[in-house]
Chain A
């Protein structure tokens, strides 16, 4: 007998119900600290919690909602990159770019947002949880909630400059110890593109035998 006997349709319907239940139960656990939620039926659920409730929400998810599996923790910098795709002509005037910060699902007020995902190993249903990062760039550490958050928080600290109160060991993982700056921030230029501008589409030479050559081509 196939372990996949249930059809996709019934599974999707059932999980919608489950995902709505996640939002409701989280609201009853942490009250108005649940700022916003977003549900894509049959696919996924997003919640945003108040900054000061980051750890409380984690504990509620783990203990009350059975989200025992820690998937990942990271951050998003919502500022549009001032460098665009890094394909600018270095000799030309810098391009005008839209620099309004627009957050994604569940909104937000700050440029940086924490993003984590935890999953229930018995129900096989996960939740994406977000929180605004205040200007102080300090968040509560999830280390007491999920031991696996250790390396993920180190990475977020290194790449985005978000520090975590209660994390004992915020050291660089990838970069040299004395590296300055936080590479995943949008205003940190991709140095490879600055040193040697991306050739872009204009530079692609025609293939020998291709294009207007009558013998070759398609």
Chain B
């Protein structure tokens, strides 16, 4: 080794040492920020613990479980028809949609199918709960980004849908209307016309939202390029619904599986977005509401006549077996793995809720983002706390 080489090496080491010294002197102590469990952006009681370095998140972990109600255990001491009253409360904004996959699983085990009219009305109510649920998301999203107006519009227009659900089922939030073999009741008189009028208003609401929120420059700069989830990661974590479609996966359980429901009787489109960022997730949801109004409109025109209840025994015993049914709920894939031993009640019900998987990605996703973006990302993933904790 020559003299020059040696000298160069020494100066390099000295420079490195100096750098290290400066870094040590300037290093600040990390800060732990606790968001929630009671925070407007947590939709209930989700607590986020974030370790910060300046404005940047170094590590973050959501802590769920403040609202765990033990539904899986409770189903084991209920009869099959009683279970719907429980599972109504999993995703409380789209309650009717929670009942459907469970009822379908029980029907699958009993090898019965609801009459066409019941299937049709089920699908309509399912889509109405999606509109009520995701419509509120669009307003809520604005509030979490600092825009107040959208939330008033959302609450105003969601009311039309809730009124329809109430008129048909008797319950605004927890219909408990779906029965094994069909529905509790037929639709009231004049409901179809009211529904079509409301769908028209809801489409206007979507246009309004698109103008007001999605076209807003601040909204765009707060959401575009933030919280990007690549397709492979989204699939690995089991993200579903709009979160998955916003990462470019063209998959909708309404279209891509055969269920005794009426989605295939309407003409609609599954929207995807290639970006995978917060904006994409919100945008896909906006389109979904639009498509839902179209589905409801078309199905209202073609409700078949006939009974709304199949012939089922008065005391329902479900034959021994196992069944898995999942549907495309407002929040994503919601499924029930039902094990029956031939009794009045289920032996075991595994509730696969969408938000549980959707939120489990946050430790990965929040690493390296800025503090205000935590709220944006959580809002765009869209979870309902009851859907995480069950």
Cross-chain contact A124 with B256 (CB below 8 angstroms): yes
Chain B residue numbers with a CB within 8 Å of A115 are 337, 350
The answer on a CB contact under 8 Å between A76 and B348 is yes
Q: Which residues of A contact B337 (CB under 8 A)?
A: 72, 74, 115, 117, 128
Inter-chain contact A190/B73, CB cutoff 8 Å: yes
Q: Decide: A68 and B232 in contact? CB cutoff 8 A.
A: yes
With A3-B268, A42-B258, A174-B65 as contacts: A76 and B323 at CB distance below 8 Å: no
Q: Of B237, B268, B339, which contacts A148 at CB under 8 A?
A: B237
Task: Give bound CA distance, A71 to B251, whole Å.
Answer: 14
The residue on A at minimum CB distance from B232 is A68
Q: Are B235's CB and A68's CB within 8 A? A: yes
Closest CB-CB distance, B290 to chain A, in whole Å? 15
CA distance A67 to B108 in the complex (A): 24
A66 to B337, CA, bound (A): 22
Q: How many of B's residues come within 8 Å of A, CB to CB?
A: 51
Q: Could you count the A-B residue pairs with CB atoms below 8 Å apart for me: how many are there?
A: 118
Q: Which of B168-176, B259-267, B371-379 sits within the interface?
A: B259-267
Contact indicator B321/A104 (Cβ below 8 Å): yes
- B155: CB under 8 A from chain A? no
Cα–Cα distance between A147 and B270 once the two chains are bound (Å) = 27
Q: Mark B318-336, 1 if CB is under 8 A from A, else 0.
A: 0011111010000001010
> Is B270 in contact with A190, judged by CB distance below 8 angstroms?
no
Complex interface: chain A residues within 8 A of B70 (CB): 183
**Contacting pair B251 A121 (CB below 8 A):** yes
Asked if B68 is at the interface (CB within 8 A of a chain A CB), the reply is yes
* A105 to B270 alpha-carbon distance, docked (Å): 35
Docked Cα-Cα span, A138 to B264, in Å, equals 45
Which one, B76, B255, B267, B360, contacts A151 given CB within 8 A? Answer: B360
B74, CB-defined interface residue at 8 Å: yes
B270 and A3 contacting across the interface, CB-CB below 8 Å:
yes
The answer for the CA separation of A206 and B111 in the assembled complex, in Å, is: 35
Kindly state whether residue A85 has any CB partner on chain B within 8 Å: yes
Interface residue B357 (Cβ < 8 Å from any Cβ of A): yes
Closest chain-B Cβ to A57's Cβ sits at a distance in Å of 17
Q: How many of chain A's residues touch chain B, expressed as a range? A: 35 or more
B236 touches A184 (CB 8 A): no
CB proximity to A under 8 Å, residues B237-283 = 237-238, 249, 251, 255-258, 263-264, 266-270
Instruction: For B348, list chain A residues within 8 Å (CB).
Output: 76-77
Say whether A184 contacts B72, CB under 8 Å. yes
Minimal beta-carbon separation of B324 from chain A (angstroms) = 6
The answer to whether B258 touches A147, judged by C-beta atoms less than 8 angstroms apart, is no
- Contacting pair B108 A43 (CB below 8 A): yes
Residue of A nearest to B364 (CB): A147
CB atoms of B77 and A117 under 8 A apart: no
Does A91 touch B at the CB level, under 8 Å? no
Q: Is the CB of A184 within 8 A of B356?
A: no
Partner of B235, one of A1, A70, A172: A70
Asked whether any CB of chain B lies closer than 8 Å to the CB of A136, the reply is no
CB distance from B386 to the nearest CB of A (A): 13
Question: Can you list 20 A-B pairs, Cβ within 8 angstroms, ordered by A?
Answer: A1-B267, A3-B255, A8-B258, A44-B323, A68-B232, A70-B236, A71-B238, A72-B350, A74-B350, A86-B77, A117-B324, A121-B251, A147-B236, A148-B360, A151-B357, A172-B65, A175-B65, A184-B72, A190-B76, A190-B77
19 more contacts with CB within 8 A, not counting A72-B238, A105-B321, A193-B77, are: A1-B267, A2-B267, A3-B255, A4-B255, A44-B324, A68-B236, A71-B326, A72-B335, A74-B337, A76-B350, A85-B77, A117-B324, A121-B249, A147-B233, A147-B237, A173-B65, A174-B68, A184-B72, A190-B74
Using a CB–CB distance below 8 Å, which chain A residues touch chain B? 1-4, 8, 11-12, 42-44, 46, 68-72, 74, 76-77, 80-81, 85-87, 102, 104-105, 115, 117, 121, 124, 126, 128, 146-148, 150-151, 159, 172-175, 183-184, 186, 190, 193, 198
Q: Hey, which bits of chain B sit against chain A, CB under 8 A?
A: 64-65, 68, 70, 72-74, 76-77, 108, 232-233, 235-238, 249, 251, 255-258, 263-264, 266-270, 320-324, 326, 333, 335, 337, 339, 341, 344-345, 348, 350, 352, 356-357, 360-361, 364, 389
